[in-house]
């Protein structure tokens, strides 16, 4: 009880530092000292679980100070302690933290491996997760989504930088598969049912059914929007648009609000702007490949609008292609 009380007290000081920025250094130092005491108590009573939390949160404090090497050392110690008691509820947090730190240190291959371990652990926590994130007052997307999105972001950036077409394709496929894992996790969370897994084996993707179909994964990131297109056996392509999550979400919300006003055509200007961001970048590729059907797998605010209502200035998207919105 003492160990966990100290851990909570240490975390409270860490949060106070964010709110009281004038005394940030003081709060962080106090937080670190209390977490050290918690680790000593956990070590004395032989509680690896408590030690894992104390060490991991100390690593997070160092991460905030950009002392990445020290943070990584503490985080790896936290991983080791969590492994001793097979405690996945904290283990995924520290693998996630290690992924961020390794990326910050420029060790991207190791970062991908750490992120991958975090995602793998989350996939095994499907029953425990709802209780954990609901207790924190966060939604599923807020609590767990960043793990998946940060991995996808890293994979896409590496694919863009790669000079090897085969390696770039592997990275794009891994990014696509990670997005699919997130979508399935969201559905499991929404329905509170394993029906998603039961149906998975019986569903074929659209590009497997028809060579004239493509699947579009719009991925909204803080600094840009990535458009990931899957053409089945013909491979994958990515397009990057310099429009971040905040700007994209605001435009989507304006479009939806005006779309509901049936007495005006004001929505068209916003629909054209979204078309230019979300369709125009790969429009020529669709023509070249003679694509007739697009399957959209949207996330975030994109779930709230019909993609068919986007238009190029002359025609709506639905007039040009068959659309499936999932």
- Residue 12 has what pLDDT? 93
pLDDT tens-digit series, residues 1-58? 999 999 999 999 988 888 888 888 899 999 999 999 999 999 999 999 999 999 999 9
pLDDT tens-digit series, residues 292-311? 888 899 888 999 999 999 99
Contacts of 180 (CB under 8 A, 6+ apart): 297
Banded pLDDT at 203 (limits 50, 70, 90)? very low
Tokens linked to 213? 């179909």
pLDDT tens-digit series, residues 216-260? 999 999 999 999 999 888 889 999 999 999 999 999 999 999 999
Residue 196 has pLDDT above 80, yes or no: no
Banded pLDDT at 109 (limits 50, 70, 90)? very high
* Backbone conformation region of residue 300, classed left if phi is above 0, alpha if psi is from -120 to 50, else beta: left
Banded pLDDT at 211 (limits 50, 70, 90)? confident
Banded pLDDT at 152 (limits 50, 70, 90)? very high
Cα distance between residue 219 and residue 174, in whole Å = 14
Instruction: Please state the pTM of the whole predicted model.
Output: 0.85
Banded pLDDT at 131 (limits 50, 70, 90)? very low
Tokens linked to 233? 């056996």
- Residue 304 has what pLDDT? 92
The total of other beta-carbon atoms located within 10 Å of residue 70's CB is 15
Please name which of 302, 312, 125 lies closest in space to residue 218, comparing C-alpha atoms.
Answer: 302
* Residue 271: strand pairing partners: none
């Amino acid at each position: 009880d003492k160990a966990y009380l100290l851990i909570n007290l240490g975390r409270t000081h860490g949060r106070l530092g964010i709110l009281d920025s004038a005394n940030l250094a003081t709060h962080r130092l106090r937080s670190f000292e209390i977490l050290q005491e918690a680790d000593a108590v956990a070590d004395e009573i032989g509680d690896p679980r408590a030690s894992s939390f104390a060490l991991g949160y100390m690593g997070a404090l160092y991460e905030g100070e950009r002392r990445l090497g020290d943070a990584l050392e503490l985080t790896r110690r936290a991983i080791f302690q969590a492994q001793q008691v097979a405690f996945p509820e904290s283990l995924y947090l520290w693998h996630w933290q290690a992924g961020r730190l390794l990326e910050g240190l420029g060790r991207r291959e190791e970062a991908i491996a750490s992120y991958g371990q975090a995602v793998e652990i989350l996939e095994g926590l499907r029953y425990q997760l709802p209780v954990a994130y609901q207790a924190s007052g966060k939604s599923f997307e807020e609590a767990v989504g960043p793990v998946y999105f940060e991995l996808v972001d890293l994979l896409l950036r590496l694919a863009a930088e790669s000079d090897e077409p085969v390696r770039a394709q592997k990275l794009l496929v891994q990014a696509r598969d990670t997005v699919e894992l997130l979508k399935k996790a969201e559905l499991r969370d929404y329905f509170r049912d394993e029906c998603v897994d039961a149906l998975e084996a019986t569903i074929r993707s659209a590009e497997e059914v028809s060579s004239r179909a493509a699947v579009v994964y719009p991925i909204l990131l803080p600094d840009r929007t990535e458009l990931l297109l899957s053409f089945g056996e013909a491979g994958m392509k990515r397009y990057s648009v310099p429009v971040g999550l905040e700007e994209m979400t605001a435009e989507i919300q304006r479009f939806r609000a005006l779309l509901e006003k049936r007495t005006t055509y004001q929505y068209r200007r916003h629909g054209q702007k979204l078309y230019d961001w979300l369709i125009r970048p790969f429009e020529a590729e669709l023509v070249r490949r003679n694509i007739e059907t697009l399957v959209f797998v949207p996330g975030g605010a994109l779930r709230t609008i019909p993609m068919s209502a986007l238009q190029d200035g002359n025609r709506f998207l639905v007039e040009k292609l068959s659309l499936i919105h999932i």
